[in-house]
Structure 1
Amino acid sequence: MIRHGVPDNVHSLGIDIVGNAIHLFGTEEQKQRFLPGLARAEITANVLFSEPDVGSDLASLATRAEPDGDHWRLHGRKIYNMKAQHSDFALCAARTSTGPVSFAGITLFLVPLRSMGVLIEPVWNLSEERFDLVTLDGIRVGPEDVLGEVDDGWQVLGKVLPLERTGLDHSAKAERTLAALREHAPPGCEERLVELETRVRAARLLAWRCVANLHEGRPDEVHSATAKWYTSETAKEVAVAAVELLGPRALLDARDPAAIAEGVFDAGFREAPGLTLAQGSSEIMLFFVATSKLGLPS
């Protein structure tokens, strides 16, 4: 879809991440409640992880789930959520208990978004996508809405995050931009194009290894972090290189008749910085690889 310019976020959020998470960790009741509707596109879903003062450090999240009988009331704010304004429900991380270990006490909830106690506000930005600020003001959820075990959400997150950190989307964006750049690049750019081609091919191989790991039922968190870092940085590099090689006309958007390649370069350039932040920033990915795989001190 990405390589052909079809918007992909509804599919990647609802199917690749939330749908797969329910398929892997949900109860039979949850699977029956959500998966058929997601598969038929009758309902859509997104994720509520990042927070205004937390970002990629999910272990420090402040959204809390307060007991209300055998249910919970959710209180907190989630930011940079794509498609929340269109989604029926979300996979939300909240803190159900506190202790000396920040990773403990987190629970994942399947939260209905079209309900009292949920406020969705736009966060406008430079990219083609609208982000949202979602305020959870006491919405009530029950035990049937818990994905996995209470207080054990970090373990589930460790398996869910590799679902979105394959890097496949970023490598596809890089491929699409590079294909258009090869078509429109001026003479004398051949060496630079070869360098970019090498990076893009390496990014694609890293991404497909992640896909293979998931297909074989053995997701690798470290490899997923590596692929996410490399593919997003590559997509950013290709987008910036396109503007450098093509000049100001590359920054004309699709509405301008003089735009090159129907505005692909402009859209990619505006989106590029966010790619290295979404799904975990480059710095967090490198930190995770260094401490988890290389054994460097945190």
Structure 2
Amino acid sequence: MSLLKIQNLSKSFEDKKAISHITFTLEKGEILAILGESGSGKTTLLHLIGALHEPDSGTLLLEDKRISPPSEKLIAGHPDIKLVRQDYGLFPNISLRENIAYELRYYEENYRNKRVDKLLKLSGLEKVQSHLPREVSGGEQQRAVIAKAIAEQPKLLLLDEPFSHLDAVNKRRLKIEILRLIKAEEVSCIFVTHDVSDAYGMADRLAVMRKGKILQLATPQQIYQAPINQYVAEITGEVNVIAQDLQQKIGLPNTTGTFLRPEQIAVAATSTIRAKVMGIKFLGNYYEVLLKTEGYELKMFSFEPLPINEEIGIAIRPKV
């Protein structure tokens, strides 16, 4: 049985369609990333799932039970669904431990203390548990927020841009720590992001949204290797969009399609496909090389710098 089922969900604000006929399911223990630009409707979708917005049409089921909309409740929301917003939402004048314990204030004291101890350990916050939110890093604040959200063991955790305030180092660390925390607690998770790198290595599946619609939903690897259109190809990574006449001129195999990832292009000295090196950028552990062939520009990745203006042979690798 799927944990969450969404069927034909739609929502408008002042005659502007925010969400349009969205349908998908989420399995127990699954992590789903929703990728899209600002204004694509991804945050509105989270709020609909969390019973914080009223849908215009469609059905939302959690374990085959209808998720009641705000109009049918005194307080909006769902007890088994927790939403973590972009602003951290911690009480500023109490410690991290007290923030987490607040969610369990109606529980027996012994259970509350044991549960908070477990969450602090899982989230790596034991050493800073007595600190105020302003006294810890952004990554530690975010971990505390998530520990607070799952304190009552919800069935579904919703994260709105969980990495948007963090630098690259803290983002990498937090991804690992959140993944460990979610898996340890066996909670399902949907998070939204505008940066596809947040999804890689963390999400089981990826949904690409644009203008209120899901364009493609599959594993991150499947979408990266076989994007359904140019928008999906470009938002999920660097890509060369190959014109039809160029495909014929350089003899691209049918398996490559019209989208060619830079890592599919390789230097091949004996190849009949010739290209001129027009520019090169150092990007840390690899170089981005701008090539020109048959009047078209292509990007490729290389672990070695290539001389500018030199003509080289290139070969096209099939998708892995």
Q: Which has the higher strand share?
A: 2
Q: Taking structure 2 as the reference length, what is the TM-score of the superposition?
A: 0.28
Q: Taking structure 1 as the reference length, what is the TM-score of the superposition?
A: 0.29
Q: Which has the higher helix share?
A: 1
